[in-house]
Amino acid sequence: MKQVILRPIITEKAIRLSSTNQYVFEVSKESTKSEIKKEISRLFKVHVEAVNITYQREKKRRRGRFWGKSSGYKKAVVALKKGETIKELEVKK
């Protein structure tokens, strides 16, 4: 079985989205919206309303005089039903 959810993405924007029941995850490049929805529901015992996918493209980076690139990744924004939260990803204020 392949790993669908790689890690949660914790940024200022992701924290702001969590107040509207939306959470951001890095997912495998081969995963589909339906696979992501099933995996989030199974892992966190919540009802997923919608999944939006974006691709973070690779960027050129420089390390001294050598050029390289950072790898790109696939990002999923998962919207939960109203009133549900993922307790493991809640930020204490």
The secondary structure element, H or E, covering residue 41 is helix 33-44
Q: How confident is the model at residue 2 (pLDDT cuts 50, 70, 90)?
A: confident
Complete domains list, the chain, with CATH: 5-84 (3.30.70.330)
CA neighbor of 53 nearest in space, from 72, 25, 80:
25
pTM: 0.87
DSSP reduced 3-state for 40 = helix
CA neighbor of 8 nearest in space, from 83, 93, 90:
90
pLDDT of residue 23: 96
Per-residue pLDDT tens for 19-53? 999 999 999 999 999 999 999 999 999 999 999 99
